[in-house]
């Protein structure tokens, strides 16, 4: 399919990349986010066909620290949700301020889109969260409980957030 590679600069200077598939000018756009340690093309490319069948364009993004986007730290939705808001603003300037947007996230992407659901502009008409998680702490700690305090400390030092902040 015809596609266009797009980039934005995140709030912290990282270059984030995505691939845009236009169904038709002015069509609603589904903005899709992949899961933990995933990549947009591999995890979400099947969604482009679904979008076209529904009369939507699609923007598949590589989240920070994944695939073609810059970064070294995945923040379980903390910074990714801010990136999502920037992608929304980018689409509003790129496609027009009245463009209808559907957010779709899988796993980490699901948590990403849910974290900002109360901050979305009116352009966002629907949010789909497939297999999102409620809290990174709930995912990590039961498996590594003896290391909980050390993990949280290391996370604060290296990534700048606490595991409970991902709730």
User: Does the global pTM surpass 0.85?
Assistant: yes
Separation CA 24–CA 61 (nearest Å): 19
As a whole number of Å, the CA-based R_g of the chain is 16
Which segments of 44-93 are extended strands (E)? 57-62
From first to last of its 167 residues, the chain has per-residue pLDDT tens of: 889 999 999 999 999 999 999 999 999 999 999 998 899 989 888 899 999 999 999 999 999 999 999 999 988 888 999 999 999 999 999 999 999 999 999 999 999 999 999 999 999 999 999 988 777 777 766 777 777 788 778 878 888 877 777 77
């Amino acid at each position: 399919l015809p596609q266009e590679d797009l980039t934005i600069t995140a709030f912290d200077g990282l270059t984030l990349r995505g691939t845009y598939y236009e169904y038709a000018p002015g069509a609603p756009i589904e903005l899709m986010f992949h899961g933990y340690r995933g990549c947009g093309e591999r995890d979400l490319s099947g969604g482009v066909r679904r979008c076209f069948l529904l009369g939507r364009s699609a923007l598949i993004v590589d989240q920070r620290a994944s695939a073609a986007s810059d970064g070294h730290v995945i923040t379980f939705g903390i910074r990714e949700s801010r990136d999502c808001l920037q992608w929304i603003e980018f689409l509003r300037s790129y496609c027009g301020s009245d463009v209808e947007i559907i957010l779709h996230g899988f796993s980490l992407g699901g948590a990403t889109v849910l974290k900002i659901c109360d901050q979305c502009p009116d352009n966002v008409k629907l949010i789909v969260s497939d297999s999102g998680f409620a809290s990174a702490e709930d995912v990590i700690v039961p498996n590594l409980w003896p290391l909980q305090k050390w993990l949280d400390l290391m996370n604060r030092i290296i990534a700048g957030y606490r595991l409970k902040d991902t709730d």
